[in-house]
Amino acid sequence: MNLFSEEMRRNPYPAYDQLRSRTPVLHYPPSDSWLIFDHDGVKRALHDHDAFSSVVSPPGTRTAEWLIFSDPPRHTKLRALITRAFTPRAVAGLEPRIRRLSRELLDRTIESGQMDVAEDYAVPLPLLVIAEMLGAPAADQPHFKRWSDAILDLSHTVSGSEEAARALDAFTAVTAEMQAYLRGLVEQRRAAPEDDLLTRLVEAEVDGERLNEDEILGFFQLLLVAGHETTTNLIGNAMLCFLENPDELARLRAAPELLPSAIEEVLRYRSPVQAMFRVTRRDVPMHGQVIPAGKAVLAMIGSANRDSQQFRDPDRFDIARDPNPHIAFGHGIHFCIGAPLSRLEARVALADLVARLGGLERASDAPWEPRRAIHVHGPARLPIRFAPGPRLGGAPG
């Protein structure tokens, strides 16, 4: 079984069901890694940092600077500093700008009655939001997309293939570009502070410590790939769910107050991030097996969120599901710091899409193309047809 084939990345859930019931902990020889499929096991791997380390990048590499690839006490310091800049108030204040960007994107294509909801909308929206947050020109968004793609391609390094080597070379090249770009923006903010995330990152201080240049670059890279990819896939997956479950879309149109719980159900049913990486600190007994010390572990979030031991009728998409204790944004000290932003963007985006796109249907019978990285889940392209709805207030005339 090739767990990372295109077909598996399009629909991994039948395989998850089999593996979770037969062998919830699996050794995967092609990459000498261990995969955990059940809800309790995945949850433990995500929060038990005494047994499972988040330091999965070799020391000295750029990704080793990322918040998600650190353990306490370094993680504690970085998260405290970043949280000072990435406040709930700052995120909430972005809503009017997110709404404007959403409606501008829709206005570009809606009159034609067809669009690629991934390429035309779900991909650019989070990138434009990140540019706004950093105070970067919107014209720089194509650079952000190219950089994000290069970072995402690093997931192929688990295979040790020629493709993985090329991905690492590309990442090294774009890191130099990003460092030069970010250094210029940081110098501007130090000389003339503005009301944006980058200024707050530069000025954040805890116990007399501030983020250094490498740490700011690390967060910028993480924000690009996590802040972009998670939200892009959340929006794309929501559209897939509604196309496959038109009764639930009709239910949402009749009861718009269900939108927040619908978003949570998309996060569970088609988790944007399917797996998180860990490394065992010691031998870890689990489900009758022992994961040896020093082994790479993939905590399969996408499988955990379909575990029938935790969710009733887990393969049914139910926009009013309650309770819904999914772990799509992780668990424990590494719970996604950008979760409020991703939920806000999804709430604005899906409200606009549901209001303006009537008679939704796929524009092609061909299987949809999944995004490339092995640990994420969502459409790279999703052509749709629809009946154009009215222009919403807040978009330019």
Q: What is the 3-state secondary structure (H, E, C) of the chain?
A: CCCCCHHHHHCCHHHHHHHHHHCCEEEEHHHCEEEECCHHHHHHHHHCCCCEECCCCCCCCHHHHCHHHCCCCHHHHHHHHHHHHCCHHHHHCCHHHHHHHHHHHHHHHHHHCEEEHHHHHHCHHHHHHHHHHHCCCHHHHHHHHHHHHHHHHHHHHHHCCHHHHHHHHHHHHHHHHHHHHHHHHHHHHHHCCCCCHHHHHHHCCECCECCCHHHHHHHHHHHHHHHHHHHHHHHHHHHHHHHHCHHHHHHHHHCHHHHHHHHHHHHHHCCCECEEEEEECCCEEECCEEECCCCEEEEEHHHHCCCCCCCCCCCCCCCCCCCCCCCCCCCHHHCCCCHHHHHHHHHHHHHHHHHHEEEEEECCCCCCEECCCCCECCEEECEEEEEECCCCCCCCC
Percent of the chain past pLDDT 70, that is, above it, reads 96
Query: Per residue in 308-345, pLDDT tens?
Result: 999 999 999 999 999 999 999 999 999 999 999 999 99
The pLDDT value recorded for residue 125 is 95
Q: Which residue, among 21, 36, 2, 86, has the nearest Cα to 276 in the 3D structure?
A: 36
The yes-or-no verdict on residue 33 having pLDDT over 80 is yes
Q: Which of 117-121, 167-171, 226-230, 310-314 has the lowest mean pLDDT?
A: 167-171
Query: Per residue in 42-92, pLDDT tens?
Result: 999 999 999 999 999 877 677 778 899 999 999 999 999 999 888 888 899
Domain at 6-388, CATH from 2.60.220.30, 3.40.50.720, 1.10.1060.10, 1.10.630.10:
1.10.630.10
The yes-or-no verdict on residue 135 having pLDDT over 60 is yes
Contact 144, 127 (CB under 8 A): yes
The pLDDT value recorded for residue 392 is 66
Q: Which of 133-147, 315-329, 381-395 has the lowest mean pLDDT?
A: 381-395
The yes-or-no verdict on residue 4 having pLDDT over 80 is no
Contacting residues for 298 by C-beta, under 8 A, at least 6 apart: 28, 33, 34, 35, 36, 275, 276, 277, 278, 375
**What is d(CA 81, CA 101) in angstroms, rounded to the nearest whole number?**
29
The yes-or-no verdict on residue 365 having pLDDT over 70 is yes
The pLDDT value recorded for residue 159 is 53
pTM over 0.75: yes
Averaged pLDDT of the chain: 91
The yes-or-no verdict on residue 377 having pLDDT over 50 is yes
The pLDDT value recorded for residue 24 is 97
| Residue 396: band (very low, low, confident or very high) from pLDDT cuts 50, 70, 90 | very low
The pLDDT value recorded for residue 158 is 53
Judged on CB neighbours under 10 Å (0-12, 13-18, 19+), 116 is: middle
Query: Per residue in 280-306, pLDDT tens?
Result: 999 999 999 999 999 999 999 999 999
